[in-house]
Amino acid sequence: MLLKNSFLSFAMMLICFGLKAQQDKLITHFIYDKMSINPGKTGIDLYNGICATSIYRNQWDKINGAPNSAVLNIEANLTKYFPGGVGIAFYHDAIGFARQNNVLLNYSYPIQIGRAGVLGIGVGLGIMNYGLNPDWVPPTNNPDPTLPVGFAATSFDANFGLYFNGKDFYGGISSTHLSASLLQQSVAGFSQSYQTARHYYIMGGKRFKKIGPGDIDAQVLLRTEFVKFSADINARYILDLPGKKQIYGGFTYRTSDAVALMVGYTPIPKMTVGYSYDLTINKLSSISRGSHELVVKYCYYLPPPPKQRARHPRWL
């Protein structure tokens, strides 16, 4: 098993050097992470509200060097003070010896499309930092100069997206890493580089109301960088509880990767806690113990302005 884990760690490192491999994080609860891959979503479905979402994902549990991701999104639509939605998206992604950090400021401009819904045109601008910190154990005391050494570099990053929000459905198309930056650094006489690839997303979802005592929320997310294609398809059954609380349960299928069980609960109004367990169905299934994901979301809405009482001069 130790030999297998060491080999997989080395394989993860090789993946990190792939110029056009899938670079963006994989999130099962992508329904709570839409603004980081589509800035058009930022605040578009809020009104005078602020939402914060945190997600942690431990992928392929018990495999050395397997991906780990952390996400923090904060979005607001303070229409009373500012036209449009604003937000900040941060995520940290680690795989093998590689570490990637992204911070973007999002803005979404809303356009009302009659009674059908609202179209958000969004852009995200920020920075991306990529670092490699290998920990080699050479078989001899003589270092091998051909082995990659550590380096870190930072570059500009940009996302763009269109997001339509209807009454019971939504749809969006977006692209991340539009700058396709080449991060490069010379270390110990050797040139280290990391090529960022543009990623493209199509998303959509619909809520089917009053299916028995609850609602069915169906979602789909397609992602590609024109080398690899993957899709997530999921459905949740949402049941309302007394006191403005909800519980949900559902399933996700990710092509050529995993099937997942999703559960969630609102312990207090406007707060959601969710968990998912991914069962690996690809070639790693014999050694992976699956993937775990935890999400916490909380929203706060500004109270409406107090009503002004009018008095007739005759009654003063």
Within a domain: 203: yes
pLDDT in tens, 127-186: 999 887 766 555 656 555 556 566 788 899 999 999 999 999 999 999 999 988 887 776
Does the residue 81 lie in any domain? yes
In a domain, 312, yes or no: no
**pLDDT band of 309, cuts 50, 70, 90:** low
Number of domains the chain contains: 1
Domain contains 310: no
- Give the tens place of pLDDT for each residue, 14-51: 334 333 445 788 899 999 999 999 999 999 988 889 99
The pLDDT of residue 48 is 84
Amino acid found at 81: Y
Helix (H), strand (E) at residue 89? strand 85-95
Residue with the two structure tokens 């050479």: 138
User: What tokens does 144 get?
Assistant: 């091998």
DSSP-assigned beta bridge partners for residue 151: 132
In a domain, 218, yes or no: yes
Residues 6+ apart with CB under 8 A from 302: 48, 49, 78, 80
Asked whether the beta carbons of 107 and 86 are under 8 A apart, the reply is yes
pLDDT in tens, 172-206: 999 999 988 887 776 666 677 778 889 999 999 99
pLDDT tens digits along 56-79: 999 887 777 788 899 999 999 988
The CATH number for 173's domain is 2.40.160.60
Instruction: Give whole-number Cα distances, 270 to 8, 297, 305, in Å.
Output: 41, 8, 20
Contacts of 159 (CB under 8 A, 6+ apart): 37, 38, 39, 104, 106, 122, 123, 124, 174, 175, 176, 177, 178
Residue with token string 């979602």: 219
Domain of 260 in residue numbering reads as 2-137+149-304
